[in-house]
Amino acid sequence: MIKSIERECQMTTFTIKEIAKRFNLPFAGNGNIEITGLCGLSDNLPNCLSFLNSSKLLTTGSQSNIPAFVTKPDLVVEGKTNIFSDNPELDISKIAELFVMPPMQQEQSIAPTAVIGKNCELADDITLGPNVVIGDNVKIAKGTIIMAGVVIMDNVSIGESCKIYPNVTIREACQIHNRVIIQPGTVIGSDGYGFVSVAGTHHKIPQIGIVVIEDDVEIGANCGIDRGRFNETRIGRGTKIDNLVHIGHNVIIGENCLIVAFVGISGSTQLGNNVTLAGKVGIAGHIKITDNVTCLAVAGVTKSITEPGIYAGYPAKPAKLWHKAIARFYRE
Q: Shortest gap between Cβ of 268 and a copy of itself (angstroms)?
A: 8
Helix (H, G, I), strand (E, B) or coil at 43: helix
61 lines the binding site for a copy of itself (CB under 8 A): no
Q: How many CA atoms lie within 13 A of 215 on its CB side?
A: 2
- Identity of residue 163: K
Q: Which is nearer to a copy of itself, 71 or 250 (CB)?
A: 250
> Is residue 249 flagged as an active site residue?
yes
- Site for a copy of itself (CB under 8 A): which residue of 155, 233, 269, 294? 155
Q: Is the dihedral angle over the CA atoms 19, 24, 29, 31 positive or is it negative?
A: positive
In the complex, least distance from residue 315 CB atom to a copy of itself, rounded to whole angstroms:
7
Q: Strand 232-235 relative to strand 115-116: parallel, antiparallel, unpaired?
A: unpaired
Distance CA 135, CA 138 (A): 6
Binding part of the chain for a copy of itself, among 26-34, 56-64, 77-85, 141-149 by CB under 8 A, reads: 141-149
Chain positions 167 to 226 lying near a copy of itself, rule: CB under 8 A, are 167, 169, 171-173, 175, 177-178, 181, 183-187, 190-191, 193, 195-196, 198, 200-206, 208, 210, 218, 220-224, 226
What does DSSP assign to residue 228?
P
Strand partners, 175: 157, 212
291 CB-near residues (< 8 Å, 6+ apart)? 254, 272, 273, 274, 275, 308
DSSP-derived letter for residue 89 is H
Minimum separation from the CB atom of position 80 to a copy of itself (A):
17
DSSP 3-state of 265 = strand
Quick one: which of 96, 97, 35, 90 has its CA closest to 67? 35
Piece of 19-27, 52-60, 63-71, 253-261 that binds a copy of itself (CB under 8 A): 253-261
The rounded distance, in Å, linking the Cα atoms of 168 and 151 is 6
Window contacting a copy of itself (CB under 8 A); options: 13-21, 57-65, 74-82, 115-123: 115-123
The pattern of x and - marking residues 82 through 111 that bind a copy of itself according to CB under 8 A reads -----x-xx-xx--xx-xxxxxxxx----x
Q: What are phi and psi of 304, to 5 degrees?
A: -55, 145
- Contact string (CB under 8 A) for a copy of itself, positions 1-40, x = contact: xxx-x-xxxx--------------------------xxxx
Contact between 56 and a copy of itself per CB under 8 A: no
Residue numbers 227-246 binding a copy of itself by CB under 8 A: 229-231, 238, 240, 242-244, 246
Catalytically active residues are 249
